[in-house]
Structure 1
Amino acid sequence: MQRKGDQKMAVIEHPVPYEYDGGTFEGMLVFNDSVTEQRPAIFMQPDWLGVCSHTTGMAAEAAETDYVVLLADMFGKNYGGMDKSNQELGKIARSNRADIDFILGCGKVADDALTAEADRLGLIDISRKGAVGYCMGGGYLLEQIRNGSDFQGTVVIHVTLPITVAPNRQNRISGRFLAIHGSDDIVTPKPLIDALEAEMSAHGVDWQVMMFGDAPHGFCVHDANDNLQRYDEKLCKQTYRLMRDFFSDIF
């Protein structure tokens, strides 16, 4: 268990190992230990970097003192995403995204292992559970909720590849849904979000989309500044306020 910050108000990163299909994975519980009462659990599918200092930082930003974040590992222990090029990251992430059985299988093992450990430590009120996914992780998370994952609310932030790779599977989405996106996102342009909205309506989901005008992809990705994505501090803060308002209506 790793402590970051001062002793009175520290972010804890607690590793949780698990195995899937012969592979070794290591997710992370991320929470602030200044809070003693049990909090809602938020299952998190990170972006294509996997579990690393970048995404544990995003998890801490999402958690603050309100939630315990269950950060999933979908790429394997010691993946080293921060040392890979965008081309390599994209190739691996798209390969995973195309494998629906892997997404559902590994995603469930991650959720079960992280939830069990957080419950064992007495950190969470297991009756209050949501999920958040960033970029490619948002696409993974969408497949999980289509398969019936029991999150009471799901948020995807600048989602990548939101349309299902298994259109013939029964759609079992339950719970509420919020997508936060940028109108100038070239990774996931608006027609794909329109299709996602149509899917949600067709299945009777209580859904919302917040579209930030003129915003690019990756506005919550710190240090992002290239032709694909760009961090925006103001929009990122607005995003987390929207996320908290969304979950506060549910929990």
Structure 2
Amino acid sequence: MGIKQLSTIVLLFSTIYMQAQLQAVAYSDANQKLEGFLATPTKPNAKKAGVVILHAWMGISDHEKETAEELAKLGYYSFVADVYGQGNKPANTEEAGKLAGFYKGDFTSYQNRIQLAIDQLVKAGANADEIAVIGYCFGGTGAIEAARGGLKVKGVVSFHGGLGKDGNRLAKPIAAKVLALHGADDPYVPAKEVAAFEDEMRSSKADWQLNVYANAVHAFTHKDAGSDNSKGAAYNEKADKRSWEAMKIFFNELF
């Protein structure tokens, strides 16, 4: 191998590393300390678009961080939001259920935590007029809440997220475009909830899409969820890849 070829390879790997590098970011909500993770693209897209990533119910994991790295490679400023705050990471599913349940019930607090993450993304260099929010599971619910709350975002993407809301909440106009990516056999988001979501989107005059993936249950993008659909949550490679491509097409339309 010649010196020129070696230099090219080193440059290529250096570029990939720089695109994928995450930076911890300290911020706060009043007295609650938060810690998110920023991935800054070496070559931002033309509009300097940014994406907030909302974690699943167990808190920030490698899954959300890897998503930020992949989005940075695509040219997006990416920020993994800390919804729970430092010192509040659940130790087990019982604690996770209580925390996620709190924010699902107190949706204004959830929307506020999302807004704080958007602020950090803009502070890092993203265009305030070119923002999207995506989320996984509990975070997918949060992405929909960003649209419901009228946050200044162009679009939201829910990966296997909860789609329902309290029936007493009135459907308000939704300006952000909505993409919901749903497992056809997800036991945690039954057909009744999906139908209610569709009715809500129509009532809200939203520009919305619902993609349903065959043989997929909850958490179909999480490789650590196993492969046993009977447990209600399992990884599905086809659904994972197809939903990622659907998000990319959606972003191309948005930005």
TM-score bracket for the superposition, by shorter chain length: 0.7 to 0.9
Structure 2 spans left out of the alignment, 5+ residues: 1-11
1:101 alignment partner in structure 2: 108
Q: Is the 8 A contact 1:13 1:28 kept in 2?
A: yes
Q: How does 1:101-250 map to 2 (within 5 A)?
A: 101-116=108-123, 118-119=124-125, 124-160=126-162, 162-165=163-166, 167-168=168-169, 171-225=172-226, 227-250=231-254
**In the alignment, which residue of structure 1 is the partner of 2:6?**
none
Give distance in 2, aligned partners of 1:214 and 1:80: 31
| 1:29-72, Cα deviation, whole Å (9 max, x unpaired) | 12443x26663101121211222333212332444323221211
Structure exhibiting the larger radius of gyration computed from Cα positions: 2
Give 1:114 deviation, angstroms.
2.9
Shift of 1:248: 0.4
For the residues of structure 2 that align with 1:113 and 1:8, how far apart are their CA atoms?
24
Q: CA deviation at 1:134?
A: 1.1
Distance 1:29 1:243 in 2: 20
Q: Distance in 1 between matches of 2:186 and 2:127?
A: 36
Q: What amino acid does structure 2 have at the position aligned with 1:228?
A: G
Q: Could you say if the C-alpha distance between residues 185 and 168 of structure 1 is closer, same or farther in structure 2, counting changes exceeding 3 Å?
A: closer
Task: Kindly provide the amino acid, as one letter, of the partner of residue 150 in structure 1.
Answer: K
Residue number in structure 2 paired with 1:30: 39
Determine if contact 2:38/2:78 at 8 Å carries over to the other structure: yes
Give the drift of 1:110. Answer: 2.3
**Cα 1:168–1:230 shift into 2, 3 Å:** closer
Secondary structure of the equivalent of 2:205? coil
Deviations 1:94-114 (A, max 9, x none): 122211231122222222133
Q: Distance in 2 between matches of 1:31 and 1:139?
A: 25
Which has the larger displacement, 167-176 or 193-202?
167-176
Shift of the alpha carbon at 1:25? 0.5
State the AA in 1 paired with 2:218.
Answer: H
Greater share of helix:
2
Whole-angstrom CA distance in 2 between matches of 1:61 and 1:157: 16
RMSD: 2.2
Q: What SS does structure 2 have at the residue aligned with 1:107?
A: helix
Which digits, 9 at most, give the CA deviation of each residue in 1:161-219, with x for residues without a partner? x2224844562421211111011001111221111111001111111100012211111
CA distance in 1, matches of 2:44, 2:31: 37
- In 1, the alpha carbon distance for the partners of 2:107 and 2:69 equals 28
Task: Report the 3-state secondary structure (helix = DSSP H, G, I; strand = E; otherwise coil) of the residue aligned with 1:184.
Answer: coil
> Mean alpha-carbon deviation: is it higher for 93-102 or for 62-71?
62-71
**TM-score scaled by length of structure 2:** 0.84
Summarize the Cα distance change of 1:64–1:234 in structure 2 as closer, same or farther, 3 Å threshold: farther
Q: Does the CA contact (< 8 Å) of 2:135 and 2:159 recur in 1?
A: yes
Distance 1:8 1:63 in 2: 11
The 2-side partners of 1:78 and 1:52 are apart by 15
Q: In structure 1, what is the Cα distance between the partners aligned to 2:187 and 2:27? A: 35
8 Å CA contact retained: 2:143, 2:157: no
Task: Write 1 or 2 for the structure with the bigger share of strand.
Answer: 1
Assess if the C-alpha contact under 8 Å between 1:180 and 1:209 holds in 2: yes
